[in-house]
Structures are given as C-alpha cells and as structure tokens.
Amino acid sequence: MSAPVRSRRTTVSDIRALKGVRPIVSLTAYTAPMAQFLDPHVDFLLVGDSLGMVLYGFETTLPVTLDIMIAHGAAVVRGSQKALVLVDMPFGSYQEGPEQAFRSASRVLKETGANGIKLEGGEEMAPTVSFLSERGIPVLGHVGLTPQLVNTFGGYKTQGRDEARATKIKADAKAIADAGAFSIVLEGTMEPLAREITERSPVPIIGIGASPHCDGQILVTEDMLGLFNEFIPRHVRRFANLGEEIGKAVGEYASEVKARTFPGIENTFQPKKT
Ligand code: KIV
C-alpha cells in the first residue's frame, strides 16, 4: 500500500523566488472555512490583526491579543493545505525588543503550525527582524501605513506624500530587507514611491493600496468580498457583494419561517400520532 500523497505547502523560499517571475497572490484569512475557500488560489494566507476590526468589532487593531492571534492562526493552518500561512504579531507583543518578539513569535509558530510571522515597523524594528530571522522565524515586514501606529499617524492616512516621509519609507523598506525579512508588505503609499521601492528591493514587495507594479498584492478578504462595511479603505475593490447576498438569503429564510413554509418537507416536525 502506498503512503497518502500530501501536497507540499508553499515555503518562504518559494515566495522569495517569485520576485521578477510572476505577481504573488495573497489574502487575509481568520477562520478554517475561509482558509479552505482561499487556499487553492493564493500563494500565502495572512492571519492579519485586522481581524480585531473585521471579526471582533474593535475600532482599531490595538486591542488584539497574542492569544486571539494564536487561536485564529491555528484555525487557518487547519483549514489550508497548500498556501504558506503567516500570522500577524499584535500590538504590544514585540515592540519591547528582540527577546520579547522571539518569545511571542515562537509561541505563534509552536501553537499554530504557521510558517512565519508579520510585524510592523521600519528601521527601528531592524534589530528585531534580524534576531528572529537568524533564529528560525521567517519575518514578513510591513512598512508605509502601519495600522498599529494609528494614534501616531492620527488616522489611516496615505503615506509618503512629502519628500521627508517618502525618504523615511524607503529607508524603512531597505532596513527591513537588509535585516533578513523574506518579503515586505507596503501599505497605503503613493504610486511612484511604491514602484521605486519595488524596483530597488531584493525581496518581494507586497502592495496594499500601493501600486499595481508591486511584486504581489494583498487585500483583507472581507473587504474584497463585501463582508465588512464599517471602514472601507480607498484602495478596496469589491469583487463580490456577499454581505448583500447574506441579507437576501436570511430575509428569505425569515419570511418562510413566519409563513410556516419552512422547512418545506411536509410533516417533518409533526407530533407522532399515538
Ligand atoms: O492586518 C492585516 O490584515 C494586514 C494586511 C492588511 C496587510 O496587515
């Protein structure tokens, strides 16, 4: 009897190797069933801390805890077979320094089975990125509009409009790549800046509201499927309107229940004749 054939999961080296070959496709996932739907179509799944806003109804990503990220990370690993799975480090779980980051990130890898982590920040995070990368924790960087700095930025504003900020974002991307990140998310920046960073970077730049010329793209799945309406970033394109579909389906169900035409199989719930 031959052993069952297990399809191989994408690795961080596979993602790196795609730079200059073809665009990298990625989406967020927070649950096992959604991971199952997305898995055949994407190179990597990110368990983003955006789940704080999208699933938990928080106003920002700041209240998300490491335990929440671990529970959802494990679910996404269980629901997927082929895609690389990366888990976001939540606010407060890594900013103190490399040792704290290693403690948090090693819990993520051990308890979820994910293949790496993402953390936000530029030059100031470079020592942490190299500490993790050198100790077996692949890091996806995140520069530009970094949502965990919402209080510093004063909102979710496009970054890199002025020369000084554009220069800083370029330095951030370079520092994180030099420190060993295998890829970098570049969020909410002006198009020419994103293009320049992508051209110069030795590692793939994954854009979100940045430029179609990045090495790949990521979106929050619930945004692109019309499942989250509280906050719609400018870059979001709706590929479906599942929120509306849910409304229609549930409305139909409610009408059938009220009209006593549901469940539709005659006598299913009739009391037994004695
Ligand atoms: O938290 C998240 O989902 C993210 C992506 C939008 C890149 O950081």
Atom of ligand 1 nearest to the CA of 61: 1
In a domain, 6, yes or no: no
- Write the residue with the smallest CA distance to atom 5 of ligand 1: 48
Atom of ligand 1 nearest to the CA of 118: 8
Whether the pTM exceeds 0.85: the reply is: yes
Contact 237, 27 (CB under 8 A): no
d(CA 209, CA 187): 6
- Secondary structure class of 72 (helix, strand, coil): helix
Element (H, E) at 108: helix 98-112
Sign (positive or negative) of CA dihedral 204, 68, 28, 159: negative
In a domain, 250, yes or no: yes
- Cα 241 to its chain centre, rounded Å, is 20
How far CA 44 is from CA of 11, 106, 112, 227, 269, in Å, comes to 9, 20, 15, 21, 46
**How far, in Å, is the centroid of ligand 1 from the Cα of 234?**
15
- What's the pLDDT score for residue 251? 97
In a domain, 209, yes or no: yes
Contact 24, 15 (CB under 8 A): yes
For 124-157, b where at least 16 C-beta lie within 10 A, e where not — what string?
A: ebbebbbbbbeeebbbbbbbbbbbbebeeeeebe
pLDDT, tens digit (0-9, with 9 covering 90-100), for 23-32: 999 999 999 9
pLDDT, tens digit (0-9, with 9 covering 90-100), for 202-239: 999 999 999 999 999 999 999 999 999 887 777 888 99
d(CA 80, CA 70): 15
Residues touching ligand 1 (Cβ under 6 Å) are 28, 46, 48-50, 88, 142, 185, 208, 218, 220
In a domain, 1, yes or no: no
Tokens of 268: 């299913």
In a domain, 106, yes or no: yes
**How far, in Å, is the centroid of ligand 1 from the Cα of 49?**
6
pLDDT, tens digit (0-9, with 9 covering 90-100), for 9-50: 999 999 999 999 999 999 999 999 999 999 999 999 999 999
Which residues form the domain of 187? 12-265
**How far, in Å, is the centroid of ligand 1 from the Cα of 50?**
6
- Write the residue with the smallest CA distance to atom 8 of ligand 1: 48
**Looking at the 3D structure of the chain, how many domains does it have?**
1
Q: Which of 187, 220, 234 to mutate to test the pocket of ligand 1 (most atoms within 8 A of CB)?
A: 220
In a domain, 182, yes or no: yes
Atom of ligand 1 nearest to the CA of 49: 1
- DSSP character at residue 159: B
- What's the pLDDT score for residue 148? 96
Q: Which of 24, 26, 28 to mutate to test the pocket of ligand 1 (most atoms within 8 A of CB)?
A: 28
Contact 186, 205 (CB under 8 A): yes
| CATH number reported for the structural domain that contains residue 119 in this entry | 3.20.20.60
**How far, in Å, is the centroid of ligand 1 from the Cα of 28?**
7
d(CA 242, CA 213): 28
Tens-level pLDDT at each residue, the chain (274 residues):
566 656 699 999 999 999 999 999 999 999 999 999 999 999 999 999 999 999 999 999 999 999 999 999 999 999 999 999 999 999 999 999 999 999 999 999 999 999 999 999 999 999 999 999 999 999 999 999 999 999 988 888 887 889 999 999 999 999 999 999 999 999 999 999 999 999 999 999 999 999 999 999 999 999 999 999 887 777 888 999 999 999 999 999 999 999 999 886 665 666 666 6
In a domain, 272, yes or no: no
In a domain, 273, yes or no: no
